Chains A and B, each alone.
Chain A
Amino acid sequence: MASSALQAQRLALDVTAHNVANAATKGYSRQVVTLAPGYPQQSASGRGQVGSGVVVQGIERVRDRFLDMQYRAESSSLGRWETLEEALREIQVMFNEPSQAGLREVLNQLWRSFQELANNPEDPAVRTMVLEDGRAFAEAVRHTYRQLTDLQSNVNEHIAGQVEEINLLVREIAHVSGLIARTKVGGDEPNDLLDRRDLLLDQLARMVDVEVKEDDVTGSVFVSVNGVVLVDGSTPNLLVATPGPGGGYEVRTEGGNVLTVKSGSLRGLLELRDEIIPRHLQNLETWVTAIMDAVNLQHAAGYDINGQAGQAFFVTAAGYSVAGSIEVNPALEPQHVAASSMGEQGDGANALALADVKGSPLVNGASPDDFYLAWVASLGIEGREAERMVENGRLLTRQIELQRDDVAGVSLDEEMTRMIMYQHAYNAAARMITALDEALDVVINRMGLVGR
């Protein structure tokens, strides 16, 4: 009886030690020993039942599964917004507003030099400046275009990378899930494996919106994403990223079914690549095309310094987007800039008309300036929404994490108190053995000595 107590208290101390050891381990749930009185026996003296000591019923982890579900849902949403926020910040940096060095300022410089040309149409230096400022504008547009497309292809590579990460997690979850099922069959609770599995599921939830079903009896998990099963007990179903028609990766199962992702960082990446970046590329294209067409039209209406009709000011490469290939017509020499509206060298009326393109309603009824400002503002609003959602998501996941920690976290004070409790119980049990030992000593060694 006393030895069962010694063993039980020893075990309880071991569990306490394990808890203390893992007080700072991520994903760890504290474990508690459930002790119960042993099955009672009829006393030898006939009346009354005597307990048979203590039995260890099990070692269980303390965990709230409902909080896990909540955490994963919020975590998916946070993963999506974090991805969007980071990329939107990057796009905003590309536009470099508000500053004196953005696309807007480069374009303003071109309008200013058209005005300068209107004032000094005969001056070769001013004509050269107009061409240089035109080149600077074209260069800035191409640069922005390249940055956006680079970001897009980075995001694409990232999608393939994330699919790999998901596969790694899926494999490990299936493996751990297998181990769990085997331990459960033996009737034990594989606490640390369960913690490990839950941590992996948390990581997976950051990337995709997973649905987790757990079989309480066998301990197996079924993980699916919008109907596509990723983990079926101990069987992993891997994903593949195959390049689609435009070179963009499509995420499919090995069986070829397209994976629908509604949340998580993978969703954020897909949204960036397929919606957000294309939208900004389209805006850039619309804006630049309108400016180029209007400038070219006006330039062709004027005359250069020799009285020849103006050529195209900007040209693009056939088969490429305007924003990706715009440049100042390489055939243009300073004397070819069409500043005059009637052929006289001193006339700058056409240069003035070129400068006026700035304010004319070219892009869906808005001036290039207004279109650009509205665009920057909408980019800002988009970025702000993402920032807010990330902030909210962080607060929410943190809140749930704290709640989870409230239940499952290790409190050192608590463990120390338990330690003392088990220690006392252990000491007392040991004292019991001494007491029994003394009793036996009387029976064995001293009985029958009376009168000897």
Chain B
Amino acid sequence: MRAVRVTLMGTIDRYMFSLAKVSDRMKGLEEDLATGRAYHLPSDNPMKVARALRWRNKIGEAETYLRNVDDGLAWLTSTETALASLTSLVSRARDLALQGASDTVPATSRQALAREVAQIVEQAVDVANSRHANRYLFGGRRTMTQPFLLAPDGSAVSYQGENGSLLRKVGEGVEVAINLTGGDMFPAGSPFQALIDLRDALLADDGKAVESSLAALDQMLDHLITLRAEVGARMNRLEAVRDRLEAAKLDMERMLEGEEGVDLARLIVDFRASETTYRAALATGARILQPTLVDFLL
């Protein structure tokens, strides 16, 4: 091997190159430390960055689905509350019907019972017109119009709503209906007809008619219980979806962390190591750059 000539420019250049390399590395590690991310531009690792972005998108979707689930659960909770009130109103009416059906009840008492049942009808219509976040619960997709209207003479309740479903998207291709419509609540006959019949029978002091309205009231109670079971089932389903989404989100966050996160402990050790290297390079520089023959000539 031929002897390498040690030239001034060559020495300086070699030294500066190694110094720049060490300080470059330090700069990179510093940026990783400061941002907590291993990649700052797609070119730092195109495949990992693309995968990380995909996880970010998926996490964003899961968050949206979670919001939809919560929204649906809130709606169903309001529905359940309304159905519970209706149930207690109807069973109160049934109690009153039992009292009024007895042969020994005088006409005046029946009038008093009739007034109470009339009250119950009004309350029941109010409950059926309950709103959640300013929207009517039971009007189908016609959420801004009051769905149940009691005729001014109290003779009947009419339904102004429609029977479409309100959907919440809670997964890719998974849409859940969250509402009950007037049609679901009163599948046969006009709304609250059993209560109105009871009131009219009491007013008419007709014991037989009062007794026969009991069957209709029982049927209404049964139907309410079925509806509440249905609402409960939907809530259970949404809660299960929520648990699954949260678990999936956690997994995906871990995957994302794996793609672009940094191992802090290792990073700090690396940083310290490169710092030491940098100091050593500087110290070496101080020694190799100085001596030339010039220093030894007198």
Q: A-side interface residues toward B, CB under 8 Å?
A: 23-24, 88-89, 92-93, 95, 97-98, 104, 108, 111-112, 115-116, 118-120, 122, 340, 342, 344-349, 352, 355, 359, 369, 373-374, 376-384, 386-387, 398, 401-402, 405-407, 409-414, 416-417, 420
Determine the residue in chain B with the shortest Cβ distance to A305: B144
Q: B-side interface residues toward A, CB under 8 Å?
A: 4-10, 12-14, 17, 37, 39, 41-47, 49-50, 52-54, 56-57, 60, 64, 67-68, 71, 133-135, 139-144, 162, 164, 166-169, 172, 175, 260, 292-294, 297
Q: Contact: A104 with B57, CB < 8 Å? A: yes
Q: Contact: A24 with B9, CB < 8 Å? A: yes
Chain A residues near B17 (CB, 8 Å)? 398
Q: Contact: B42 with A380, CB < 8 Å? A: yes
**Cross-interface CB contact of B143 among A122, A405, A420, cutoff 8 Å:** A122
Query: Could you pull out 27 A-B pairs where Cβ atoms are within 8 angstroms?
Result: A89-B43, A92-B41, A93-B41, A98-B56, A98-B260, A104-B53, A111-B64, A118-B169, A119-B67, A120-B133, A342-B141, A344-B164, A345-B143, A347-B141, A347-B166, A376-B42, A376-B53, A379-B43, A384-B44, A386-B43, A402-B10, A402-B13, A405-B10, A406-B7, A409-B5, A412-B8, A417-B293
Chain B residues near A345 (CB, 8 Å)? 141-144
Chain B residues near A92 (CB, 8 Å)? 41-43
Q: Contact: B49 with A377, CB < 8 Å? A: yes
Q: Do A346 and B9 form a contact, CB below 8 Å, given A98-B56, A98-B260, A355-B169?
A: no
Q: Contact: B164 with A414, CB < 8 Å? A: no
Q: Contact: B141 with A344, CB < 8 Å? A: yes
Q: Contact: A352 with B169, CB < 8 Å? A: yes
Q: Contact: B43 with A115, CB < 8 Å? A: no
Which of B167, B292, B293 has the most CB atoms of chain A within a 10 A radius of its CB? Answer: B293
Q: Contact: A344 with B53, CB < 8 Å? A: no
Q: Contact: B4 with A406, CB < 8 Å? A: yes
Determine the residue in chain A with the shortest Cβ distance to B39: A98
Which of A119, A355, A376 has the most CB atoms of chain B within a 10 A radius of its CB? Answer: A119
Cα separation A406 to B297 with both chains bound (whole Å): 24
Nearest chain B CB to A348 CB, angstrom units: 7
Nearest chain A CB to B44 CB, angstrom units: 8
Q: Contact: B43 with A380, CB < 8 Å? A: yes
Q: Contact: A413 with B53, CB < 8 Å? A: no
Q: Contact: B293 with A346, CB < 8 Å? A: no
Q: Contact: B60 with A112, CB < 8 Å? A: yes
Q: Do A377 and B43 form a contact, CB below 8 Å, given A344-B164, A402-B10, A411-B7?
A: no
Cα separation A369 to B60 with both chains bound (whole Å): 12
Chain B residues near A414 (CB, 8 Å)? 5
Q: Which 4 pairs across A and B sit closest by C-beta, in order of nearness?
A: A380-B42, A346-B143, A409-B7, A383-B43
Say what secondary structure dominates the interface of chain A: helix
Chain A residues near B10 (CB, 8 Å)? 402, 405-406, 409
Cα separation A413 to B290 with both chains bound (whole Å): 12
Determine the residue in chain B with the shortest Cβ distance to A111: B64
Q: Contact: B50 with A416, CB < 8 Å? A: no
**Cross-interface CB contact of A409 among B8, B293, B294, cutoff 8 Å:** B8
Determine the residue in chain A with the shortest Cβ distance to B7: A409
Determine the residue in chain A with the shortest Cβ distance to B14: A402
Cα separation A387 to B142 with both chains bound (whole Å): 60
Q: Contact: B50 with A377, CB < 8 Å? A: yes
Q: Contact: B164 with A342, CB < 8 Å? A: yes
Determine the residue in chain A with the shortest Cβ distance to B37: A98
Cα separation A118 to B141 with both chains bound (whole Å): 12
Chain B residues near A89 (CB, 8 Å)? 41, 43
Chain A residues near B47 (CB, 8 Å)? 377
Q: Contact: B5 with A411, CB < 8 Å? A: yes
Nearest chain A CB to B63 CB, angstrom units: 8
Determine the residue in chain B with the shortest Cβ distance to A104: B53
Q: Do A416 and B294 form a contact, CB below 8 Å, given A344-B141, A352-B175, A373-B50?
A: yes
Q: Contact: A377 with B169, CB < 8 Å? A: no
Chain A residues near B56 (CB, 8 Å)? 98
Cα separation A420 to B141 with both chains bound (whole Å): 104
Nearest chain B CB to A277 CB, angstrom units: 17
Nearest chain A CB to B95 CB, angstrom units: 36
Determine the residue in chain B with the shortest Cβ distance to A384: B43
Q: Contact: A411 with B8, CB < 8 Å? A: yes
Cα separation A348 to B139 with both chains bound (whole Å): 14
Determine the residue in chain A with the shortest Cβ distance to B166: A346
Chain A residues near B293 (CB, 8 Å)? 412-413, 416-417
Q: Contact: A115 with B297, CB < 8 Å? A: no
Cα separation A381 to B49 with both chains bound (whole Å): 11
Q: Contact: B53 with A373, CB < 8 Å? A: yes
**Cross-interface CB contact of A346 among B37, B53, B135, B169, cutoff 8 Å:** B135
Nearest chain A CB to B123 CB, angstrom units: 25
Chain B residues near A416 (CB, 8 Å)? 292-294, 297
Chain B residues near A98 (CB, 8 Å)? 37, 39, 42, 49, 52-53, 56, 260
